[in-house]
Structure 1
């Protein structure tokens, strides 16, 4: 019996102990558990990736909505600003027109007042001149009658 035979017998005994102790089952079970653990981790990673994709899509959608809303707000602000400018121009034009009309009314009133004042002065001067002229040439009683008549005629023409 040589050493090869004994090495073979030792191998058989070793294999018998290994099978008796169910080492291949334990190794298989351990490998199955490890494979299951890796499969679970892969599934978890896949689920997390899908969830991340969904979140990314949702955030991109929200970003687009926010951009559109911001664009709408800017457009509305521009429209409102344009409208305010138009209203301000209109109010300014109305204000200028009112002020111009008021100034024209004041100028017209001042012209009328000046004309009336000049007329009144002219009447006063004419009356005084007529009184002096008549006083020098006509007696007092006839002059007073003539003065009253002339004064009534001048007043009638002014009114």
Structure 2
């Protein structure tokens, strides 16, 4: 054999490890893999599962809170709409009551005006009657004085005044047919 070949066979290749290194490395790798598989991986999986459950619980809680908030918002909007409807109803009632009060006040004013007008008419009629009585007395007095001057007698006595007036009226009646005959 050639000397180079022998030397090549005797020196190991630095890129290929020795068989005993491969064996013991495989044993250590298997032991570490089994420890990792039996102890670390379940603990890691347990931690990830707990974390996933907390996240899922948080999501469910957030969805529940969101649903409650949506329900509260709908209730608020319903109450707001009910409040607006109630306010509109109250406003309509107040307008109706206002119109009714205005109508009542107008009716009261009209009734009061009628009462005042009727009272004024009664007062005017009473004053007219009083004026008529006063005028009759004054006119009677003036007529009696005038008749007394015309007839030439004093007419202070009622019976005498009545006699003079009757006589004056009968004289007028006698003169009236004669004056009517002369005119024709």
Q: CA deviation at 1:135?
A: 3.6
**CA separation of 1:50 and 1:144: change in aligned 2, threshold 3 A:** closer
In the aligned structure 1, how far is the partner of 2:136 from the partner of 2:31?
153
Q: Which residue of 2 aligns with 1:23?
A: 40
Which is greater in Rg?
2
Q: Which residue of 1 aligns with 2:135?
A: 118
In the aligned structure 2, how far is the partner of 1:89 from the partner of 1:118?
42
Q: 1:147 aligns with which of 141, 160, 171?
A: 160
Q: Which residue of 2 aligns with 1:96?
A: 113
Residues 131, 147 of structure 1: 8 Å contact kept: no
Give me the TM-score of the superposition, normalised by structure 1: 0.77
In the aligned structure 2, how far is the partner of 1:63 from the partner of 1:144?
97
1 or 2 for the larger relative contact order (CA 8 Å, sep ≥6)? 1
**CA separation of 1:144 and 1:104: change in aligned 2, threshold 3 A:** closer
Residue 56 (structure 1) aligned with residue 73 (structure 2): yes
In the aligned structure 2, how far is the partner of 1:40 from the partner of 1:110?
101
Q: CA deviation at 1:149?
A: 4.8
Q: 1:2 aligns with which of 12, 17, 34?
A: 17
In the aligned structure 1, how far is the partner of 2:128 from the partner of 2:78?
74
In the aligned structure 1, how far is the partner of 2:115 from the partner of 2:158?
52
* SS at 2:115 equivalent: helix
- Paired positions, count: 145
Gapped regions of structure 2 (runs ≥ 5): 1-15, 167-184
In the aligned structure 1, how far is the partner of 2:128 from the partner of 2:95?
49
* SS at 2:129 equivalent: helix
Residues 18, 24 of structure 1: 8 Å contact kept: yes
